Structure 1
Amino acid sequence: MKKTTATSGAKSDPKWRLIRQDDAEAGKATFPELFFDLVFVFALIQLSHTLAENFGSTALVEAAILILALWWLWVHITWLTNLLNTEAGPVRLFLFFMMFTGVLLAIALPKAFEGHGLVFALIYSGMQLVRSLFALYVFKGVDHENSLTFSRMGLWLAFSSIFWLAGGMSSTLEWQLGFWAVAIGIEYAGPLVKYYFPGFKTGKNERLHLSGEHLAERCALFVIICLGETILTTGRTATDHMNSSLTFVVFCSAFASTVLMWWIYFHHGQEKVSEKAEGTAEPEKIAQNLFNYGHLPIVAGIILTAVGEDFSLSHSHEDSTLREALAIVGGPMLFLAGNIGVKIASSFVRPISHFVGIAVLAVLLFLPGMPLYILQIASASILLLVAVWEYVALRKHSPSVS
């Protein structure tokens, strides 16, 4: 797959070595990229802890904004590293800078709606704009089409940063939520309209020359990060509350939920996603449908599940309210819904097991007063049902599937 469209004489430009070349390893994630991803382990742990400790009346809206922001930041940086040679010194320095600022962002995250909103907004907007400026530096005079795209992308992010900063300076939570919701909406709408900006010219047949194989691997690794964060959060909470045999049972159930999520995503489904991404003639379109938007509910579902497992471990005997049920049951529902979209887009197969699983989970969501430990065990049991059902269905359809 062609990675760039070089302008005349561009290959003599020293910046050409900063661009990922078309070779056998072009679609593989590199060690600097994996090192960068470690920052998001910390950020996701911060997010899970924050939600578990302060799951108030506006918690779901706050959680949605923070999850959308973290995911979009990671996606934007991944899009850029997809095009760059991460073994080159300047690109590595760029990633290290993003790591440092990412840690600062994660530190500000727990108080993003309680006094540190402006700090969070400044760091987040700064990271997005620095990423765009670095892309312009790399592609200016080397790849005209990518340069035009990232120019317009930078303008969109500059516009959204106005709302991030306005929200950070707001005196009330309602205004902050409103401004930040607008900012997120602007950023997510950008790719849908190819970052159209009035008065800013668009190149003929302009598109980013992305590697679908690389994006598939990077998203799979991010899912692994989220699942790993769930195990870390569950283990930490279990350590603090391992004072009865019931806690051990709930811990086993929570651990099983994480393993079953791994199975549902990686057994057969992720393989099809990778094949679709690698073989497509429209990598940018596939990147949007399968990765930018398609993986979002999967990631959000895993994070919300981690919060639910925290509830079920720390308050096992308490009766559930809609608050706890939205995390314990809503997390797996989001996860399964995301898998439905990704699997249909990649293989055109409608996983009936996933639809049934969501339906049964939805019933649990509206059964008030159920003890949290029973709700957790029931949720894990439904995930087990989905995983076994899909495995058996795949075996019947294709005996070669193991």
Structure 2
Amino acid sequence: MSGLGARQFLLRKAPEHGHHAVTFIELFFDLVFVFAITQLSHHLLHDLSVIGLLQTLVLFVAVWWAWIDTAWVTNWLDPDRKPVRLMLLALMLVGLVLSASLPKAFHEGGLAFALAYATFQTGRSAFTIWAVARHDRAQSLNFKRILAWQALASVLWIVGAFLHGEARLGLWMLAVVLESLAPSTGFFVPGLGASKAADWKVEGRHLSERCALFIIIALGESILVTGATASDLAWTGLNPHFPSKALISLS
């Protein structure tokens, strides 16, 4: 199987000092998920009910796994390598479809969302297996286990897209639970075993910086929306409606 892997070394090399800085392509990638968070707020705003809250929560967890799993992958793969950069750009395109379909995910956009999400998750893991197969057998095995779980969850996402109402919500909740429980089992797969904590070489400072920068980008987007809303208001003296209208725009 390793003979099918990338010949080029695509893993990050150990930093000589400190830790690997977050790259520009990683920040560019994060913009898609800032857009996704905005879309989720629109979804909740249009259905302020218990069902609407559950739907938004399910979609949020899916978006979270898509983003954090990619952040983990770029903790090992070097985004400055051309194949990795192209992979991130491809994920961005799929992520745009995923994000655009979020407000209608429990209506006519369900299949588009499910296919985009399944492609995003399984495609990234398959690429990672290919990227590390020749150079890190332990990581290759880890991602084979992850891919198996994601493939199973993808079936639930896609089948759920053909259902309606509470049936879709129930099946997608099961998919979210499956993906969320997988790490606690070590991604156990019969015949492949389970991953151990020692198998994961995580650069914590890179991940923490990535999360911090994502929050800053998201806050920046909120400031832009607030400013754009304020600029559309009539400035005839002190406008008492400015604070409320500007804050509502964040939703």
In the other structure, the counterpart of 1:338 is: none
Equivalent position to 1:185, from 177, 191, 197:
177
Quote the residue 2:216 is aligned against. 224
Give the structure 2 partner of residue 67 of structure 1.
Answer: 60
Q: How does 1:28-39 map to 2 (within 5 A)?
A: 28-39=21-32
Gaps of 5+ in 2: none
Partner of 1:245: 239
Q: 1:176 to 1:25 in 2, by over 3 A?
A: same
Paired AA for residue 201 in structure 1: G
Is 1:58–2:58 an aligned residue pair? Answer: no
1:207 alignment counterpart: 199
User: RMSD value over aligned CA atoms?
Assistant: 2.5
The aligned counterpart of 1:356 is: none
Structure 1: gaps spanning 5 or more residues: 1-6, 8-12, 255-308, 315-326, 328-402
Alpha-carbon separation, structure 2, partners of 1:37 and 1:154 = 22
CA contact (8 A) 1:238 1:247 kept: no
Deviation at 1:241, TM superposition (A): 5.9
Post-superposition offset of 1:57? 4.5
1:127 counterpart residue number: 120
TM (normalized to structure 1)? Answer: 0.56
Partner of 1:10: none
Q: Which runs of 4+ in 1 moved over 4 A?
A: 202-206, 236-244
Sort the Cα spacing of 1:106 and 1:205 in 2 relative to 1 into closer, same or farther, 3 A. closer
Aligned length: 244
Q: Which residue of 2 aligns with 1:159?
A: 152
Q: Using CA pairs under 8 Å that are at least 6 residues apart, name the structure with larger relative contact order, 1 or 2.
A: 2
8 Å Cα contact 1:32/1:86 also seen in 2 = yes
1:237 CA displacement: 4.6
Task: Quote the Cα distance in structure 2 between the aligned partners of 1:216 and 1:48.
Answer: 24
In structure 2, the partner of 1:99 is 92
Give the alignment of 1:310-329 within 5 angstroms: 310=248
Preserved CA contact (<8 Å) 1:69 1:184: yes
Contact 1:145 1:206 survives alignment (8 Å): no
SS at match of 2:107: coil
CA distance in structure 2 between the aligned counterparts of 1:55 and 1:235, rounded to whole angstroms: 25
Deviation at 1:83, TM superposition (A): 0.3
> What do residues 155-205 of structure 1 show as CA deviations (whole Å, max 9, x unaligned)?
0001111111121110x2101110111101111111122111223234777
Q: Aligned partners of 2:157 and 2:38: how far apart in 1?
A: 23
Partner in structure 1 of residue 13 of structure 2: 21
Contact kept? 2:39, 2:102, Cα under 8 Å: yes
Structure 1 CA distance for aligned equivalents of residues 224 and 171 of structure 2: 33
SS in 1 for 2:8: helix
Q: In structure 1, what residue type is equivalent to 2:187?
A: Y
- The residue that corresponds to 2:186 in the other structure is 194
CA change 1:174–1:199 in 2 (3 A) is same
Report the structure number with the largest CA radius of gyration.
Answer: 1
Provide Cα deviations, 1:86-138, integer angstroms capped at 9, x if missing partner.
11110110011011111111111111011111110010011000011001001
Q: Distance in 2 between matches of 1:205 and 1:44?
A: 30
Identity %: 39
Distance 2:57 2:140 in 1: 31
Q: 1:122 to 1:105 in 2, by over 3 A?
A: same
Contact kept, 8 Å, 2:27 with 2:214, in 1: the verdict is no
Q: Which structure 2 residues correspond to residues 244-263 of structure 1 after superposition, within 5 A?
A: 245-250=239-244
Residue 28 of structure 1 and its aligned partner are, at CA, apart by 1.1
Structure 1, residues 356-402: CA drift from partner, whole Å, max 9, x if none? Answer: xxxxxxxxxxxxxxxxxxxxxxxxxxxxxxxxxxxxxxxxxxxxxxx
- Provide the rounded CA distance (Å) in 2 between the counterparts of 1:229 and 1:113: 26
CA contact (8 A) 1:152 1:195 kept: yes
Q: Residues 2-55 of structure 1: CA distance to partner in whole angstroms, max 9, x if unpaired?
A: xxxxx9xxxxx8332x10010137421011111111112222222222322343
Q: Relative to 1, partners in 2 of residues 1:240 and 1:180: Cα closer, same or farther, differing over 3 Å?
A: farther
Distance 1:99 1:162, change over 3 A: same
Q: TM-score, normalised by structure 2?
A: 0.88
Structure 2 vs 1, CA of residues 205 and 229 (structure 1 numbering), >3 Å: closer, same or farther?
Answer: closer
